[in-house]
């Protein structure tokens, strides 16, 4: 899983049926110290995360389909947690 | 999943049987500022409605073939949505309007062939 920060949303009306009624979040990937590492991912929300929050991203298709209970969905990246605190030693 | 801009179409007559009926489009993956990142790739169109100049989002790897009607086709990039808007924390990003006019890599405005069904002169 990856640490990321929600920086926006992606709005789409014409999409694959698996994306109906799902929120797409634009997430900047983070270093362990909380700085953006340069990359980004579009993720499906499963926890109600909002803009500015640090989240836990799952970037693996089978796990994503299991989390969303959507067996045939072409979804690979899912927000699976909202991070309260990261301690790096 | 990643943002990309459709830059062209690909036509292949001779192909693996599993690819029959699948529309292939040339796409340029983009970064969050909608600037091109990496090389262009050929993606299958899973929404059946994407065309040159449009801002889309794509899935890669195994999820690309899951997006197709037959989930066991040899496809590694698929377009799964057409982007209406990218809303960032700072407000709507003016660069993120999905119009063809600001397509950085699309060159001249795309010549989209539209068929009007039932139109009679």
Domain of residue A25, residue span: 2-82
ipTM of the complex: 0.73
Q: How many domains does chain B have?
A: 1
Domain of residue B22, residue span: 2-95
The model carries a pTM of 0.74
Q: Do A10 and B3 touch (CB under 8 A)?
A: yes
What CATH number is associated with residue A11? 2.40.50.220
Q: Do A74 and B46 touch (CB under 8 A)?
A: yes
Neighbours of A47 (CB within 10 A): 13
CA distance B55 to B5: 5
**Would you say the C-alpha torsion A54, A59, A63, A69 has a positive or negative sign?**
positive
- The answer, for B98 touching chain A at a CB cutoff of 8 Å, is no
- Residues 6 or more apart whose CB falls under 8 angstroms from that of B108 comprise none
| Position B105 in a domain | no
Span A47-75, pLDDT tens digits: 999 888 999 999 998 899 988 898 888 99
Span B11-50, pLDDT tens digits: 888 888 888 888 999 999 998 888 999 899 999 999 988 8
| Position A88 in a domain | no
d(CA A86, nearest CA chain B) in Å: 22
Q: Scanning the structure block, which residue is given the tokens 């993120």?
A: B96
What CATH number is associated with residue B59? 2.40.50.220
The residue ranges of DSSP E strands in A1-89, in sequence order, are 2-11, 14-15, 24-30, 36-45, 54-59, 77-82
């Amino acid at each position: 899983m990856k640490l990321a920060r929600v920086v926006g949303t992606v709005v789409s009306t014409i999409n694959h049926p698996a994306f109906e009624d799902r929120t797409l979040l634009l997430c900047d990937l983070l270093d362990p110290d909380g700085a953006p590492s340069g990359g980004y991912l579009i993720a499906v929300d499963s926890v109600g995360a909002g803009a500015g929050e640090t989240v836990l991203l799952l970037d693996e298709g089978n796990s994503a389909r299991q989390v969303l209970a959507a067996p045939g969905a072409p979804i690979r990246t899912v927000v699976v947690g909202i991070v309260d605190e990261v301690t790096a030693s | 999943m990643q943002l990309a801009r459709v830059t062209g179409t690909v036509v292949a007559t001779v192909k693996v049987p599993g690819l029959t009926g699948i529309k292939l489009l040339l796409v340029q993956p983009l970064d969050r500022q909608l600037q091109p990142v990496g090389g262009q790739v050929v993606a299958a169109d899973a929404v059946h409605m994407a065309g040159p100049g449009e801002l889309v989002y794509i899935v890669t790897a195994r999820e690309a073939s899951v997006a197709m009607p037959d989930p066991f086709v040899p496809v590694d990039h698929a377009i799964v949505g057409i982007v209406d808007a990218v809303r960032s924390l700072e407000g709507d990003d003016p660069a993120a309007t999905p119009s063809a006019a600001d397509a950085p890599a699309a060159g001249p405005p795309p010549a989209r062939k539209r068929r009007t069904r039932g139109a009679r002169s």
